[in-house]
Amino acid sequence: MIRDFEYFAPTTLNEALTLLDKYRDDCKVIAGGQSLLILMRQGLVTPRYLIDIKGIKELNYLQFDAEEGLKIGALTTHRAIERSPLMRDGYRVLAEMERKLASVQTRNWGTIGGNLCHGDPAGDPAPVLIILKGTLKLSSLRGTRTLPVEDFTLDYFETALEPGELLTEIRVPPPTPRTGAAYTKFNIIENDMGMVGVGVSITLSPGDVCQDVRIALGGSAPTPLRAREAEEVLRGKEVTEELLKKAGEAAAEEAEPISDIQASAEYRREVIRVLVPRVGREALRRAQQR
């Protein structure tokens, strides 16, 4: 049973921020409701005021320019990202991730902003945005600030959003030459939350040395995790099968998975150990082609 609440449906960002500021102690924002309504039905979240931002058109857009890269309004649905013609070259991994996220029905209504703000460590978008060096614009009546995606989730279902703040935009820098990115998740039910998700991006120097690398894990720690020790295994070297295997071992070691109904922590580590070289191999192949 959902507890009664007072409902607001602002149509502008300023209106939403004003409401959020006024009711900050006992309100909740709702976008697509795909995650929030489950928590409300279970009685885990019982806001007195519900601020429905889905009708704010100015937060629903996908734009690209060569200087600033990709800008995604927080209310853009998963489906819009999946189908956007902008998701090519360096951004193709975003559409590939979206295609495996939930069902078409959920993707049609759920938003990328809602997914990130839910703070589920197993969510698919965060690891992909981390390997793409994504940043988040957070807005409130006090102004705006920008955070790297990797710093946004603080703990299980806890984010860096402060009272009165909304996530308004996700930015991804322009694709860099000779960079390849890939993502996959391991799950029991197709298109459901991953047991483990792995994203890898590799940038090659002219001599085919790994100039830059990012490895991000989902479902492997209390937050989406950047596997920095695994990255160091590859950085500055020619990427070989042996090094990819070592990177997988390092990532499995630095992960902090839990045991739950889906899998034991040991099993998750094993999946990470296997997936990092597999996804790394694909990222490398894509980097060599660009």
Ligand X SMILES: Cc1cc2nc3c(=O)[nH]c(=O)nc-3n(C[C@H](O)[C@H](O)[C@H](O)COP(=O)(O)OP(=O)(O)OC[C@H]3O[C@@H](n4cnc5c(N)ncnc54)[C@H](O)[C@@H]3O)c2cc1C
Q: Which residues bind ligand X (CB under 6 A)?
A: 28-36, 74, 78, 101-102, 106, 110-111, 113-115, 117-118, 123-124, 161, 166-167, 191-193
Q: Which is nearer to ligand X, 121 or 277 (CB)?
A: 121
* Single-letter code of the amino acid located at 71: K
CB of 90 to ligand X, least distance (A): 21
CB of 241 to ligand X, least distance (A): 30
As a whole number of angstroms, the distance between CA 58 and CA 73 comes to 8
Q: Which is nearer to ligand X, 120 or 212 (CB)?
A: 120
CB of 34 to ligand X, least distance (A): 3
Token pair for 11:
């149509």
Q: Which is nearer to ligand X, 195 or 284 (CB)?
A: 195
Token pair for 138:
């957070």
CB of 224 to ligand X, least distance (A): 10
CB of 243 to ligand X, least distance (A): 30
As a whole number of angstroms, the distance between CA 184 and CA 164 comes to 35
As a whole number of angstroms, the distance between CA 281 and CA 234 comes to 12
Q: Which is nearer to ligand X, 32 or 280 (CB)?
A: 32
Q: Which is nearer to ligand X, 123 or 277 (CB)?
A: 123
As a whole number of angstroms, the distance between CA 261 and CA 149 comes to 28
CB of 218 to ligand X, least distance (A): 8
Nearest to 265 by CA among 195, 192, 188: 195
Q: Which is nearer to ligand X, 5 or 178 (CB)?
A: 5
What's the CA angle centered on 121, arms 46 and 82, to 5 degrees?
Answer: 95
Token pair for 183:
């993502």
Q: Which is nearer to ligand X, 96 or 232 (CB)?
A: 96
Q: Which residue's Cβ has the minimum distance to ligand X?
A: 114
Q: Which is nearer to ligand X, 169 or 212 (CB)?
A: 169
Residue 229 to residues 62, 120, 197, 226, Cα–Cα distance (Å): 34, 23, 17, 9
Rounded to the nearest 10 degrees, how much is the dihedral formed by the CA atoms of 67, 72, 73, 74? Answer: -140
As a whole number of angstroms, the distance between CA 284 and CA 100 comes to 22
CB of 158 to ligand X, least distance (A): 10
As a whole number of angstroms, the distance between CA 127 and CA 183 comes to 8
CB of 102 to ligand X, least distance (A): 3
What's the CA angle centered on 272, arms 252 and 117, to 5 degrees?
Answer: 100
Helix (H, G, I), strand (E, B) or coil at 215: strand
